[in-house]
Amino acid sequence: MEDLNLKNQNQELLLTQIYGYIKSAPLRRIKRNGSLGLSDNSIRNLKLFYRLILEFETYLKTPIYLKGLDHLMINDLKEWLLSHKKYSLNNAGLQLKLLKMVCREAEKKGIEVNAYSRHIESFSQKSKDRILQTISFEEIKMIKGLKELPSSLENARKWMLIGLYIGQRVSDLLILEPSQLRFLEQGVYVDINQQKTDKHVTVGVIDKEVVSILKNKFPEAITPQLFNRQIKQLCQMAGINQMVSGYKLCPNTRRKKLGTHPKSSLISSHDLRRSFATNYFGKIETPILMQITGHSKESTFLSYIGTQVNKDTYADAFMKIAATL
């Protein structure tokens, strides 16, 4: 991102306000927990948004002013994101969410912003259209059965198994350190401060192989990019290759496209966390799982694993209690 001198830039330009928002990231208060400073992921998204708007201006052959963000301009941006850039609904929706956020901040500073900006609406893919990939307990056994792997893949296998049993985001998984472990007679407590939500959680692990890894064979550091590639290799080697529907990156367009592929090629690091939640759902009480994953709302948790609320459960609980009154 080019280094702008904000003092010499027109404050009514959208790009100037995006840049200013990024520059002030360390001092921004997070409503959720009252702390200061946007997360690395939020800053990365804003920088990508800056470059995207710069590209959109090139496409329009004109700079974008805040007061020019009327319904026609917003519709042009939406169509450009979906038709020209071939963005997914979720990614395009995120860009509109960021746009509204920047406009709201500029308005707070007394800068003239088109009134329509208050009506910008984000959007996402319908739940019924989502295709989620998870690794079942049976498939975990297949991963555990891999022997005599090269040291690099064996290291990734350790991280993979830990991830499948602690249910955390890859950003928290791959920075795990032995100092976060507390060993008990029956297993291990893993203490984690979740980066995204700043929530402190403790996960209990009793799987014998994972406990042994944590206690005696703690894995070495690995980058998320390499980890993602090696997860696919491990699944392929373990025989998790059934043909399934899923979204895969198209090399030509650099966009994800729906198709039928070997399951091993669709698994990513984030699927470890979703697999944990899915595998234990219905076996462990949902509030306990939510405490571990860090979800605050049951509806969000259920959407995350692609499950609907079972309203009969609440009706049954009510009738059971009501019958004793």
The pLDDT value recorded for residue 309 is 59
pTM of the model: 0.71
Residue 199 structure tokens: 């929530």
The pLDDT value recorded for residue 6 is 52
The pLDDT value recorded for residue 16 is 95
The pLDDT value recorded for residue 74 is 95
Measure the CA–CA gap between 265 and 271, rounded to whole angstroms.
12
Q: Which residue has the tokens 């009738």?
A: 319
Residue 175: CB partners within 8 Å, gap ≥ 6?
Answer: none
Q: Which residue has the tokens 């009252």?
A: 34
Residue 9 structure tokens: 């830039």
Neighbour order of strands in the sheet with 188-193: 181-183, 188-193, 200-205
The pLDDT value recorded for residue 251 is 73
The pLDDT value recorded for residue 122 is 84
Measure the CA–CA gap between 107 and 88, rounded to whole angstroms.
29
Neighbours of 227 (CB within 10 A): 20
* CA-only gyration radius of the chain, Å: 23
Q: Which residue has the tokens 């979703």?
A: 274
The pLDDT value recorded for residue 33 is 64
Confirm if 277 and 250 have CB atoms less than 8 A apart.
Answer: no
**246 three-state secondary structure:** strand
Measure the CA–CA gap between 193 and 325, rounded to whole angstroms.
43
DSSP line for 138-201: HHHHHHHT--S--HHHHHHHHHHHHHHHH---HHHHTT--GGGEEE-SS-EEEEEE-TTT--EE
* pLDDT, one tens digit for every residue, the chain (325 residues): 555 555 457 999 999 999 999 999 988 877 766 678 888 888 999 999 999 999 999 999 999 999 999 999 999 999 999 999 988 888 999 999 999 999 999 999 999 999 999 999 887 766 555 688 999 999 999 999 999 999 999 999 999 999 999 999 999 999 999 999 999 988 999 999 998 878 899 999 999 999 999 999 999 999 999 999 999 999 999 999 999 988 787 777 667 777 899 999 999 999 999 999 999 998 999 999 999 998 888 888 888 888 765 666 667 767 778 888 7
Residue 124 structure tokens: 């996402």
Q: Give the burial class of 117: count Cβ atoms within 10 A of its Cβ; 0-12 exposed, 13-18 middle, 19 or more buried.
A: buried
**254 three-state secondary structure:** coil
Neighbours of 138 (CB within 10 A): 8
Measure the CA–CA gap between 275 and 273, rounded to whole angstroms.
5
- Dihedral of CA 9/100/78/46: which sign? positive
DSSP 220: P
The pLDDT value recorded for residue 248 is 82
Question: What's the half-sphere exposure (Cβ side, CA atoms, 13 Å) at 21?
Answer: 28
